[in-house]
Structure 1
């Protein structure tokens, strides 16, 4: 695998999120009240859930179709899909927070939250297009700015100016607006409601991905709602900080998806054997890195966690972080195997696997979180992703040798 300057731009884009998370953890654990951060995190969980579920189908389908449509067709068709999905996202967000959280937020704050719900997927979509078109320098720059705007700025403003959930929401809104304006509206300039640009094949693919996203959200975020319900927002804050630390493994996933996935998608049909070999080699590298990383973690992990987490460290943190690290490794395997299903338009099997994993995850969480605490959330996440990884690998093996 030949590496060039684009690979290093990919590295910069990749490390921006985990580095921002680590900096945020250092700041939060020392200077921010657990209850406030827990309340803010719960709100962000719901916002991300709404945006993720309603917009992810359009987001992920673009990866599949960006190389099969010319730029003009792509912009018009996805402009239409984004216009519809983000309008629905805004309305749903306003309704959910107005009905269920009107005791926590006034209508001005609810409108800000709903703006966040549409700006997050819109900006992500615009940034991802730079990746699909292999404009790596611009992609890396915007990823760094996005990480700062969504992670560092809200925490810093709350610490420096006013320690409150409202301050964090307001600063996040302003940061996203700045990103949107800085990108000159990004894909928003292609917005249209012209039904002539409706593409049933893209829509069908997007719907399948949307159901997969619902299951993925249940695995990634439902445990946070259950922790808040059965335990406390302070426990939720500690768990989320642990999740952010474990997200360092997502470095691998993001490097792979940023640098290798565009090429794999573009060349798979013409160089099937070569691209399958590339996927297999990546899996082997990840396996050995996991073994080495585990050894390092068991030697130095406790000391590092105590240093980074400070007051947010508890007796379960060491086990929770390690289990979540392994969960992220399993998710990388899921994404690698899903590439084949995506190319062969068999993502229905990916969705099926995610729903089976989500069902197992929910059952474990509902039965045991209240009794055993946040360790259950970590274990259920790992179990879910291992099951999904095994199922997706089995499904994809049936299609990897099929040519168009």
Structure 2
């Protein structure tokens, strides 16, 4: 097999879905590099634990010697860079950790890839690609009547997380224009689906509901996000790797804008049917409005028309068609999320990432 893919953050939410799909379809040999901080979990990859064409390495993308040794020995034909700290509230409490991973880590990967290619590395029969996976949050916030973000929307990050991802995007661009490194950047909207860490919105709502806890809703609940099913995101990344143009940026969106309030109402309606409360009441009675977080962007929306027009990709799933399956996945995989709860976030316990401040979600 000529294709060899180095995947950073491959034990996280989006990364693990990507790795599992790549191996399920036997698209390439895969080397997963993950530090296993609070959101990384090797259990996500248990289905390919004995796969001879998949190797897992526990390590830090900010370690140049490790990254160099892996690139030189594995000789990847592509690097898919998913590794990132991505929780906005955590970035507000501990911004330095986001700078280290998202900025310094991306720099190390880009620079070691540059050295590898400039030193004669690479496979003549398989053009090298560096796929840098980013977020819609780098563009800032939209008003209710504003058109969706395009690939040319000016950057205007409003949180330390978004700023760190914006910086990494600029580094990726610079390495293409300065060194000719064949980098392609993607900016995606909010993902949802299997294996998402329990503190994100959708799993937070599901688990708080069935555990009889209050369900937090920030501010007035009218913040809007475009929701993208993780399986669709994976297919978009694969298509961009196959046919995307180095040096270009592609937006990936789900065409599914929803207020946070509507998302929560949809989830609770599903739970009322799938796992009714013992007292016969709706889970909606557990929703509580909480103080809005600082710098909370009002609306995100992605214009993914370029991806459709140039590469023929459109999302297969709408929010409604995938949210039911997602909710049922969490109900059916209680052992997975309870194990995470029992270790109280491995990264916190190991000192990799400090805990959130009391009351933060």
TM-score by length of 2: 0.29
Between 1 and 2, higher relative CO (CA 8 Å, sep ≥ 6) is seen in 1
More strand by share: 2
TM-score by length of 1: 0.27
